Amino acid sequence: MQKVVKAFAKNKFQEIRVSVTEYQGNDLIDIRTWTLPQGAEEYSPTGKGVSINVKLYSELKEAVLALENELKEAKLI
């Protein structure tokens, strides 16, 4: 199973994909850079990214919310 939840452009030739996937019987959240090789029509995954067990979702969510607060305090967003 692999379901892309969100994809957004990183630059002209790369995008970030957030997906739910399964690997060796483990359900994972995968946040990865995908690249469009020269002459290719489809993006390919790179080694740049992170996969974490879905059991750690609440920790990830807490970290993203803390990041949002820091960015707001620094007036970056």
We report the CATH number of the domain holding residue 6 as 2.30.31.10
DSSP string, 3-15: EEEEEEESSSSEE
Backbone angles phi, psi at 37, to 5 degrees: -60, 150
Give the residue numbers spanning the domain of 51: 2-73
pLDDT of residue 1: 79
Determine the average pLDDT of the residues in 38-63.
96
pLDDT digits (tens, 9 = 90+) for 60-76: 999 999 999 999 999 99
For the entire predicted model, the pTM comes to 0.88
Number of structural domains (the chain) is 1
Give the position of tokens 């690997």.
23
Distance (Å) of CA 35 to CA 12, 32, 41:
9, 10, 11
